[in-house]
Structure 1
Amino acid sequence: MQQMNNLRRIDLNLLVILDALLSEQHVTRAAERLHLSQPAVSHALARLRNLLGDPLLVRAGAGLVQTPRALELVVPLAAALAQVQALLAPNAFDPATTQRTFRLAMSDYGAAIVLPGLIRTLRREAPGIDLQISHGSRESMLEGVLNGDIDVAAGVFPEMPHELRSTHLFEEHYACLVDRNSLPADGGLDLPTYLARPHVLLEMRGSGTPEIERALTALRERRRVAVSLPHWSVAPELISGTDLILTVASRGLRDIDQSSLVVVPPPFHIPSFTFVLAWHKRRGGDQALNWLNRRIGEGIER
């Protein structure tokens, strides 16, 4: 009886607001995410603090931080909300009529590979499905899936937490982008030239391209990184007219204008890698997410 009385005190909407507050750690941003007024979210936070007997979010400098009790709630709260959503969802998922937003995490390389085909599919088959795209390091993307902030992450994840499921999308290898006029007369790129030239590195903090550095370390060699960038878009422009070399995943170079730039194989062995989708096991019964994952795989050019 006491348990039933406790359940009657809980408004499911409070749990949704709590999830947003713990994710955003900011009352105004949580209100914007939920399409509620700031006073309404502040009032809900006061009710949650009273209900749970904990401040949940406390002031630290100019922002709010989670209390230890709040940190304990993040994962089970996300799991509970996902289960409720699955319980209340219609038995038959209809992409043509579904109204829903999915949160995807991927690098700009992943976005270039995944999004064009996926967006065309959604506009044709599921116009009510919207996407929110974010990016981060490999670790932060997986952390987002674990805590429920992200529905699915696309990327290279050598170490997959046991709580997550994954599906293989494709195998990828590395290639080098160089200025056509900077190549030797035979048009190739040998190891001494590679090591003597400066390099552009695409690196997001905490991620980078450890596969390339590990391959060079195996040869007892190092390269000089002249420019380190957190995003792809400007990188090819830095190569044109210079002696710089960019070593990246080959699919990102498919649409390069080869009038001034040329794609060549690396002059040493760099192991290929697997590009995957990752989502939480607790979402296994989510028909809409399962449909989305299948469409992502089908829309990638092989």
Structure 2
Amino acid sequence: MHDVNNLRGVDLNLLVVLDALLAERHVSRTATRLNMSQPAVSHALGRLRLLFNDPLLVRRGGQLVPSAKAMEIAPVLDQALRQMREVLGPNGFDPAREKRGFRLAMSDYGSAVVLPGLLRRLRREAPGIELVVTQSSREAMLRLLLDGECDLALGVFPDLPERLQAGQLAIEHFACVADRSSMAGKDRLDMDGYLARPHVLVAMNDGTNTEIDMALRALGHTRHVVVTLPHWGNAPRLIHGTDLVLTVARNALALHESDPSLVFFEPPFPIAPFPFVQVWHERRASDPAHLWLRNTIADVVTHAQRLTS
């Protein structure tokens, strides 16, 4: 075992590898993040285990789990590397040269709002960045973050577990859409008309706790949902030629608002607006590449909001 207190005997690059391993909990993802080969990362982990006289990361259930000592080291290491990056300044991270993969979790609503502008920015400013996008329920996305299987989750998350952090991207409002031929010349529905119509619901589960239905229950009402589907993008297309009503986030309708066969109107009852956020694990908070990606996503959403306001 090396004397970890004698810095002259320690390759400080190993600490960068350890920081990445504790964040990724996966050898191949760490290799991609650091632009190293997998054998090089495995070799570095072996040296780190000798250095600290501890396994540091133990394979359990198909993933690497930090040991108690690694959990003790993690916050101290994170703070030390953050301070070093501050000393080195912005030259420590260059998006134009970064080669890194990120895993994002979001609904197709998030994909529609974020991905077009984000990909244009990445191709222009950071062509070495690669994205893998998945879709899950809110609960599943939070679990992916906690387990280190995801870098960022974008969506609506009213309650966050400990160790997860969030940044607001936008405040979203609800809107309704119906087929124009079913509206008898009207440009909106009152409450009775709204409740009398069948509805399309967008939800990853049975949808009984959506913001829409909770607002209705607070007024003593329920609506008749005849179609439940998990995809925002296809929902407006189901309205054509029917008496169905769809109530969704306004930005989810942006691509359809020029369709003359549809009528768009405000809900006939108050539904609280909701924050659209990005969420990450605290262990990634000070990672320069991760921070750059979060800031870039925030800029992309802000720009998209300006164009549609």
Task: Report the AA paired with residue 284 of structure 1.
Answer: S
Task: Report the AA paired with residue 299 of structure 1.
Answer: H
**Higher mean displacement: 188-197 or 205-214:** 205-214
Aligned ranges 1:110-259 → 2 under 5 Å: 110-124=110-124, 126-134=125-133, 135-161=135-161, 163-205=163-205, 210-256=210-256, 257-259=258-260
Unmatched tracts of structure 2, length 5 or more: none
Deviation at 1:254, TM superposition (A): 1.6
Which residue of the partner structure matches residue 283 of structure 1?
A: 285
CA distance in 1, matches of 2:206, 2:48: 35
Deviation at 1:211, TM superposition (A): 0.7
Secondary structure of 2:278's partner? strand
With over 3 angstroms needed to count, the CA separation of the structure-2 counterparts of 1:210 and 1:188, relative to structure 1, is same
With over 3 angstroms needed to count, the CA separation of the structure-2 counterparts of 1:21 and 1:269, relative to structure 1, is closer
CA distance in 2, matches of 1:117, 1:180: 31
How many residues were matched structurally?
293
Q: Normalization by structure 2: what TM-score?
A: 0.70
Secondary structure of 1:255's partner? helix
Which residue of the partner structure matches residue 300 of structure 1?
A: 304
1:200-224 deviations in Å (ceiling 9; x for gaps): 1111249876211110111111112
1:22-49 deviations in Å (ceiling 9; x for gaps): 5x7xx99999999999999999999999
Q: Normalization by structure 1: what TM-score?
A: 0.71
Task: Report the AA paired with residue 118 of structure 1.
Answer: L
Deviation at 1:248, TM superposition (A): 0.3
**Higher mean displacement: 83-92 or 288-297:** 83-92
Aligned ranges 1:63-82 → 2 under 5 Å: 64=62
2:266 counterpart of 1:262: no
Question: Do 1:200 and 1:246's aligned partners in 2 also have CA atoms closer than 8 Å?
Answer: yes
Deviation at 1:145, TM superposition (A): 3.6
Among all aligned residue pairs of Structure 1 and Structure 2, give the percentage whose two residues are the same amino acid. 39
Question: Do 2:188 and 2:264's aligned partners in 1 also have CA atoms closer than 8 Å?
Answer: no
Deviation at 1:299, TM superposition (A): 3.2
With over 3 angstroms needed to count, the CA separation of the structure-2 counterparts of 1:132 and 1:214, relative to structure 1, is same
1:227-264 deviations in Å (ceiling 9; x for gaps): 11111232222111112211100111122152222212
With over 3 angstroms needed to count, the CA separation of the structure-2 counterparts of 1:290 and 1:227, relative to structure 1, is closer
Secondary structure of 2:246's partner? strand
Secondary structure of 1:259's partner? coil
With over 3 angstroms needed to count, the CA separation of the structure-2 counterparts of 1:187 and 1:91, relative to structure 1, is closer
Unmatched tracts of structure 1, length 5 or more: none
CA distance in 2, matches of 1:176, 1:21: 41
With over 3 angstroms needed to count, the CA separation of the structure-2 counterparts of 1:54 and 1:283, relative to structure 1, is closer
